[in-house]
Amino acid sequence: MERVPILKLGDILIVSIQIDLQDQGVLALQEDLADAVVEHRARGVIIDITAVEIVDSFIGRMLSTIASISRVLDAETIVVGMRPAVAITLVELGLSLGGVRTALNLEKGVALLHSRDGVDSDTVTR
Amino acid sequence: MERVPILKLGDILIVSIQIDLQDQGVLALQEDLADAVVEHRARGVIIDITAVEIVDSFIGRMLSTIASISRVLDAETIVVGMRPAVAITLVELGLSLGGVRTALNLEKGVALLHSRDGVDSDTVTR
């Protein structure tokens, strides 16, 4: 089973979703991310979905669940890189990414996390 | 054909290789990266291979080629996240990643780029 790698940059974790995740893959990612948040004391999780062309309720639920898990571990989740077509589909399907914040791209996601209290922006560049 | 997403953070481009790339995928990635380096005036390219379990001469050549292309576009390439087993295989096979610098992880790769002249570290966090 392929696992989605989790990158660490300062106190932010970055995940780039590129493969079609099935049930097992989603569970593994949720576990890996929860472990990584605790291990690295991460304050933010950024999930890049640039490569995701189709978002259905399964993916939507995954993103919401990851955000919920991160939240109870005191980390904020931001989804970045959503394609315009994906955004349109989400709205048309009535899917709301409950509890998930979004930003246009990785850069804006990092800026969003840095604008909050508690995240030490210095550690990202050192 | 799936394309590998290219993330931008300041003047650094980040690529996380997660899928098995075939010839077409490699060509597409090289083109996309070259375009992105020029478009974003990137000074550094970081390629994360945490998810890569097997490195053969094909992958090795791809990394070298990307580094060469980036170099003539005035950007430095750093490969990060190499697994210990992959490093051992590389050496055993006598494959040298010609012209490619490596760092343990994304964080150290970013630090390496920032330690050089010409890369504006401020832009990563702003």
pLDDT tens for A61-77 read 899 999 999 999 999 99
Assigned domain for A118 exists: no
A53 touches chain B (CB under 8 A): no
Q: What is the DSSP code (8-state) at residue B80?
A: E
pLDDT tens for A96-114 read 787 789 999 999 999 999 9
Assigned domain for A63 exists: yes
Give helix then strand counts, H and E, for chain B. 5, 5
Q: Do B107 and A18 touch (CB under 8 A)?
A: no
Assigned domain for B104 exists: yes
Contacts with A5 from chain B: Cβ below 8 Å: 16, 18, 48, 50-51, 81
Number of domains into which chain A is organized:
1
pLDDT above 90 covers what percent of chain B? 62
Assigned domain for A58 exists: yes
Q: Do A124 and B124 touch (CB under 8 A)?
A: yes
pLDDT tens for B60-104 read 889 999 999 999 999 999 999 999 999 998 888 888 787 789 999
Tell me, what CATH number does A102's domain have? 3.30.750.24
Assigned domain for B125 exists: no
Assigned domain for B73 exists: yes
B108 touches chain A (CB under 8 A): no
Whether the predicted interface score ipTM is above 0.85: no
pLDDT tens for A78-90 read 999 999 999 998 8
pLDDT surpassing 60 at residue A17 = yes
Size of chain B in residues: 126
- Four-point Cα dihedral B111, A8, A51, A25, nearest 10: 150
Distance CA A114, CA B33 (A): 27
Q: What is the DSSP code (8-state) at residue B51?
A: T
Give me the domain span that covers residue B50. 6-114
Assigned domain for A122 exists: no
Assigned domain for A124 exists: no
B5, B19, B110 member nearest A9 (Cβ): B110
Q: Taking the model in full, what pTM does it have?
A: 0.85
